[in-house]
Amino acid sequence: MKDLINSAARHVPVWAVWLTGSAPLLWLAVQVVQGSLGPDPAKTMERELGLWALRFLMLSLAISPLRWLGLNLLCFRRALGLLAFAYATMHLTVWVWPDMGLLWQQMAADIVKRPYLLLGAGAFLAMLPLALTSSNMALRRMGGAAWRRLHRLAYPALGMAILHFTLLSRVWTAELVIHLGLSLGLLLVRLLPKRPVLGRVAAAKPPPGNKVAERGAATERNFL
């Protein structure tokens, strides 16, 4: 089963992830044009963009735990992370305008006063350097170790994003509980002392003397 999924995943081009990931945005755009986003379309748009940012961030952080279970979807992680950043950027943009209507003073006062806004801003700022260093060239320039250290910012980003969502809610809706539960799960699983290494064993043990494969395996480990 695992092998089936892994070999199927190898045939899925990354642009397909981009295409699928753009579907929510396209659907929202269609609804804005149709006027079917409800009586407060900007607010609905803002909420949906934020939720999709959160979901793509969660997906990008699900790649490693899935690898521990033997599913290798690593090649899609960059696209998922960048999709999360793109949705977060649009979410922030819709908040600034039209939601807050460019009321800079109220926005500034709110950000320092409201923990949920501080957390949202924090999550965005944590994702910003990750997006900026997402290219192969940035990875090469920084070196694997530094790059890996920097990209651990994804964890606080998810933590702040899910808290941001939680603090906005008036009651514990099923939607909130599911997102919160999955997010906490994705973060807590990182604390497990001994990770299952089922998939890694096969992938990371090149025959001795095969330098290229060894380097490849090392790079792969760097991504964990």
Partner 1 sequence: MPRRFRNELNWSDVTPKPLWLNRRAVLAGAAGLAATPALARIEAAQSAFSTDEAPNSLEDITSYNNFYEFGFDKSDPSANAHLLTTDPWSIVIDGLVERPGTYDLADVLKGQPLEERIYRLRCVEAWSMVVPWIGFELAGLLNRVGVQPGARYVAFETLLRPEEMPGQQSASLSWPYVEGLRLDEAMNPLTILATGLYGDIMPNQNGAPIRLVVPWKYGFKSIKSVVRITLTDRKPPTTWNRLQPEEYGFFANVNPQVDHPRWSQATERRVGSGFFADRLETKMFNGYAEHVAHLYAGQDLAVDY
Under the criterion CB under 8 A, does residue 32 sit at the interface with partner 1? Answer: yes
Residues for the chain: how many in total? Answer: 224
Say whether residue 45 binds partner 1 (CB under 8 A). yes
Q: Which residue has the tokens 């039209």?
A: 98
- Could you give the CA distance from residue 71 to residue 34 in angstroms, rounded to a whole number? 40
Work out whether 25 is an interface residue with partner 1 (CB under 8 A). Answer: no
Asked if 112 touches partner 1 (CB under 8 A), the answer is no
66 vs 82: CA distance, rounded Å? 19
Instruction: Name the residue nearer to partner 1 (CB basis): 110 or 220.
Output: 110
Least separation in angstroms between residue 120's CB and partner 1 is 12
For residues 179 and 62, what is the distance between their CA atoms, to the nearest angstrom? Answer: 13
Least distance to partner 1, CB of residue 37, Å: 8
Question: Measured from the CB of residue 122, what is the shortest distance to partner 1 in angstroms?
Answer: 16
Distance (Å, whole) CA 155 – CA 176: 19
Question: Is residue 41 involved in binding partner 1 (CB under 8 A)?
Answer: yes
- Which helix or strand (DSSP H or E) is residue 215 part of? helix 211-222
Residue 66: CB atoms within 10 Å: 16
- Identity of the residue, 36 or 210, whose beta carbon is nearer to partner 1 in the bound complex: 36
Q: Where are the alpha helices (DSSP H) in 98-210?
A: 104-113, 115-132, 136-142, 144-150, 154-168, 174-188, 198-204
Quick one: 50 or 81, whose CB is closer to partner 1?
Answer: 50
Verify cis geometry, omega within 30 degrees of 0, for the bond prior to 98.
Answer: yes
| Residues from 140 through 179 that contact partner 1 (CB under 8 A) | 167-168, 170-173
As a whole number of angstroms, the distance between CA 160 and CA 123 comes to 5
Using CB under 8 A as the binding rule, whether residue 194 contacts partner 1 is answered as no
Residue 100 near partner 1 by CB under 8 A: yes
Single residue of 8, 15, 113, 191 touching partner 1 by CB under 8 A: 113
Least CB distance to partner 1 at residue 24 (A): 17
List interacting residues with partner 1 (CB under 8 A).
32, 37-43, 45, 98-101, 103, 106, 109-110, 113-116, 167-168, 170-173
